[in-house]
Structure 1
């Protein structure tokens, strides 16, 4: 069953896209006055065709080559380098042929959307507005259940990947890492075992004696994270998770002295949970990838960063009160699996951009669109979760 529906045939693409470059294939004659660019496109197009066939069904996600059909990581250096060349060349090809209708490219090359700062840069949010954005977002995404949920999501995904690893290649470090993941999840299970809706009288403060173990702190999880990173840092398959663990260490360092022992009693537990939110809110800035990871989990329950190949502004409409932002991806194929995969990615990007735009209280009306390009694809429009997506062919016609 498809996750999107095709927009009715009478749907009209907004004014900035009602130009020759965006009504079908990308046309070289749009830049006929620039012979050097035209010649480059003619020389480049056969390379794009060759790479699209070689890489069919693959995509680059968080610096890892992934088979979209089965979600498996493809550990092949040659194919990974080929994919980077395909993305970079395809982006340059498309940008060359659409520049006459582009007001301003936000980024000229493929890039990771991995911080609030990058979103604010795309939206041209002023310094004063950025302060408003941070003050509005931080208290929401640093809530105790969001913080612990994001940590558990990372560890759960890592545990799943470790279970499917080739058992013939298991190392001492891998075995130790797997045990650390189990201990980390057990730690978080204890942290999240409180029921904030239960009556306070049910949470009796335990009696302490000389034999009682010392109260646990977030520093204990930080220490486990350091050990886990050391165990996995040389294993290419787990590089993404090593990066994510490093990212979340930023938050752990800020709250390392906060208690998490479930035996400290109801009022003290609520106080410690409140401290987590206050310390994270105060310390995580615009450039923090930890903050952005929490934002993604808050909005979508996901901890994966987002990759974009194209991001650019179109000219304002005649009235001047609306601006158009295009975010897009270059695809190696246009089958349903690939389009579903890319549309979901772009939908998250559009949602985050819209959310930040609203938090910044910007005056202009923002129209955001997702665009997908593929060699030889037919032009069509799709709608998914309230967002419009446009598929374009790349050709020399």
Structure 2
């Protein structure tokens, strides 16, 4: 887990954006410069682009060391988390402006010349941001049928509900929440955050003490079940963890908007409620403990549906070792080449700098999103091959193309472009 090297002095406050429709452009209280919809929008006059390009350039300069990684603003120089509503608004404005410029005639012409796919990001809805938080979201984008969705679920459940994946995902959520609470306690401690901190520590300790050692030097396989003792206390169950999760949610309710991992705690409750009566005790003997672990996989596989966010969280941990939902700045789409055998999935990311570190952060973010879609495509048995393309955009960047882990990536510069295109 990353250490916080710098603590920002302002807490992120919820910003209520009031939507107003004006001249076909969606405005928020600081202006959102793009519109939604599937129809092709009319291009804005060239004077508008002339006026807004210096603003976009200035925002890029102000945010040059700031990156948005899975919903968090991060200072790329020291990996610190930025919690500042002004920076949040600037980033939102920059990406809103950038989406309009990507849809401008000059950049669309450049895409036609550089990209191997015709028409990508040409429609307003293809330039919308997307948060991927469930298998249903992925399946909807890929047009996966109901029968194929059933097949996907039946295929992945035995893999992602293994005991080590389940406990690993829980610990990842708890450690992430612990880090967030530590930051809040440093900036603005409250009774709720202090109590929440104690519950998180107790929960992590409870899981650690209940785990059955699996290392190569472990002798747990020789452990026999203990003799029954009259009036002995009942063995701990997953219900105990569920109760701690409920207590966490209750005491941190006022800070919910500041704690991303608290939402994940709520999501993981779905799985906990299904295994609440399964034993969580490493003193019951190796064979019995293994039986209880196998029950977890069986119960979760049986009860977690295709649309379950708990199942999706387990899948993310299984594939990538983290549990944060995947975000992309431009959702793109799937484009055919005129045949039934080859399709291209395009997604995009807007960056504040074209320095190598920032570029590779963007590439890795897009690679995870694209890889997830390909995983579902292949698991569903979709017809045809799926080519993956990631597009990165930044003011002042030069045109580049390269390959990363079998996917094609393009770096594009956001420019004003000549008048008259």
The interval holding the TM-score normalised by the smaller chain is 0.7 to 0.9
Q: 1:217 aligns with which of 237, 255, 261?
A: 237
1:68-107 equivalent positions in 2, closer than 5 A: 68-96=76-104, 97-98=107-108, 101-102=118-119, 107=126
Matched, 1:329 2:346: no
Larger deviation: 284-293 or 241-250? 284-293
In the TM superposition, residue 308 of structure 1 has moved relative to its aligned partner by: 0.5
In the TM superposition, residue 320 of structure 1 has moved relative to its aligned partner by: 4.3
What is the alpha-carbon distance in structure 2 between the residues aligned to residue 235 and residue 201 of structure 1?
A: 44
- Equivalent pair of 1:382/1:390 in contact (CA under 8 Å): yes
- Equivalent pair of 2:351/2:358 in contact (CA under 8 Å): yes
In the TM superposition, residue 353 of structure 1 has moved relative to its aligned partner by: 1.3
Partner of 1:271 in structure 2?
291
In the TM superposition, residue 122 of structure 1 has moved relative to its aligned partner by: 1.7
Count of residue pairs the alignment pairs up: 365
Larger deviation: 204-213 or 56-65? 56-65
In the TM superposition, residue 267 of structure 1 has moved relative to its aligned partner by: 3.2
What is the alpha-carbon distance in structure 2 between the residues aligned to residue 280 and residue 306 of structure 1?
A: 23
Partner of 1:12 in structure 2?
none
User: Which string of whole-angstrom CA distances, capped at 9 and with x for unpartnered residues, describes residues 88-144 of structure 1?
Assistant: 332243245549732686754112111111111221111111111111111111111
In the TM superposition, residue 363 of structure 1 has moved relative to its aligned partner by: 1.5
Q: 1:36 to 1:164 in 2, by over 3 A?
A: closer
SS of 1:262's equivalent in the other structure is coil
What is the alpha-carbon distance in structure 2 between the residues aligned to residue 327 and residue 390 of structure 1?
A: 11
User: Which structure dedicates a bigger proportion of its chain to helix?
Assistant: 1
SS of 2:169's equivalent in the other structure is helix
Larger deviation: 65-74 or 348-357? 65-74
Q: 2:59 aligns with which of 38, 42, 51?
A: 51
In the TM superposition, residue 75 of structure 1 has moved relative to its aligned partner by: 1.8
Larger deviation: 246-255 or 60-69? 60-69
What is the alpha-carbon distance in structure 1 between the residues aligned to residue 128 and residue 48 of structure 2?
A: 17
Q: 1:373 aligns with which of 389, 393, 408?
A: 393
Q: 1:337 to 1:35 in 2, by over 3 A?
A: closer
User: Which string of whole-angstrom CA distances, capped at 9 and with x for unpartnered residues, describes residues 37-95 of structure 1?
Assistant: 75654554333223222322223345443223323222221221222232233224324
In the TM superposition, residue 348 of structure 1 has moved relative to its aligned partner by: 1.0
Q: 1:372 to 1:268 in 2, by over 3 A?
A: same
Matched, 1:183 2:189: no
Partner of 2:269 in structure 1?
249
Matched, 1:228 2:236: no
SS of 1:263's equivalent in the other structure is coil
What is the alpha-carbon distance in structure 1 between the residues aligned to residue 345 and residue 172 of structure 2?
A: 31
In the TM superposition, residue 262 of structure 1 has moved relative to its aligned partner by: 1.8
Partner of 2:225 in structure 1?
205
What is the alpha-carbon distance in structure 2 between the residues aligned to residue 284 and residue 160 of structure 1?
A: 28
Partner of 1:151 in structure 2?
170
What is the alpha-carbon distance in structure 2 between the residues aligned to residue 380 and residue 332 of structure 1?
A: 16
User: Which string of whole-angstrom CA distances, capped at 9 and with x for unpartnered residues, describes residues 222-270 of structure 1?
Assistant: 1111222233333368511111111111111121121112223333322
In the TM superposition, residue 169 of structure 1 has moved relative to its aligned partner by: 3.5
SS of 2:413's equivalent in the other structure is strand
- Equivalent pair of 2:142/2:334 in contact (CA under 8 Å): no
What is the alpha-carbon distance in structure 1 between the residues aligned to residue 72 and residue 187 of structure 2?
A: 22
Partner of 2:158 in structure 1?
139
User: Which string of whole-angstrom CA distances, capped at 9 and with x for unpartnered residues, describes residues 141-186 of structure 1?
Assistant: 1111100011111222333444555646333333222221111111
Q: 1:328 to 1:297 in 2, by over 3 A?
A: same
Partner of 1:24 in structure 2?
none
- Equivalent pair of 2:161/2:301 in contact (CA under 8 Å): yes
Partner of 1:65 in structure 2?
73
Structure 1: segments with no counterpart, 5+ residues: 1-32
Partner of 2:373 in structure 1?
353
SS of 1:112's equivalent in the other structure is strand
What is the alpha-carbon distance in structure 1 between the residues aligned to residue 228 and residue 286 of structure 2?
A: 15
Q: 1:374 to 1:149 in 2, by over 3 A?
A: same
What is the alpha-carbon distance in structure 1 between the residues aligned to residue 286 and residue 352 of structure 2?
A: 54
CA RMSD, Structure 1 to Structure 2 (Å): 2.7
Structure 2: segments with no counterpart, 5+ residues: 1-40, 113-117
In the TM superposition, residue 192 of structure 1 has moved relative to its aligned partner by: 2.5
